[in-house]
Amino acid sequence: MKHSSGLEPLERRIVQVLQADASLSHAELAERVGSSSASCWRRIRALEVAGVLSSTVRLVNPERVGRGVSVICNIRISSHARNIRISFEEFIRSRPEVMECYSMSGEWDYLLRVVAADVADYENFLMQTLLDHPSVGGASSHFALSTTKYTTVVPV
């Protein structure tokens, strides 16, 4: 019987284990979830085709690569015209320091999470790049003092 998420119990266990450690071999994964290696391989491929599983990546510690400042930035765009939104979103996708971007309801149009080397590095990005883009009408920045919780694990 499938759970309300649409995943069978074995698929749920596979997804949970892979979110914790995607470097496991199929044999190690099979042992952890109580299945055969071949069955795990087939389920993983099916989950990829269904769009449940996507890229396999290694997470990087931003502090260890000189990007220890995390900034939440609210953006107000200059106009809500379709071409302005498209221009802004294409611009943001091209910026490596922007880790996340969400279109928002409410007072602000977008919310960004930006990583920077330090406050001066962020100021340079804000003043010389972000605010110079014609689609940006305003910004409000909030500096993270510490990280209480950060996860990439989605509850399944």
pLDDT tens track for 10-62: 999 999 999 999 999 999 999 999 999 999 999 999 999 999 999 999 999 99
Residue 115 pairs with which residues in a beta bridge?
Answer: 70
Residue 141 has pLDDT above 90, yes or no: yes
The whole-model pTM stands at 0.88
Helix (H) or strand (E) holding 82: helix 82-93
Average pLDDT over residues 123-144: 98
Please return the burial class of 88, using the count of CB atoms within 10 Å of its CB with bins 0-12, 13-18 and 19+.
Answer: buried
Q: Are 92 and 112 in contact (CB under 8 A)?
A: yes
Type of residue numbered 132:
D
Q: Give the model confidence (pLDDT) of 87-104 as tens digits.
A: 999 999 999 999 999 999
Task: For the chain, list the domains and their CATH numbers.
Answer: 9-49 (1.10.10.10), 62-143 (3.30.70.920)
Residue, of 6 and 71, whose pLDDT is higher:
71
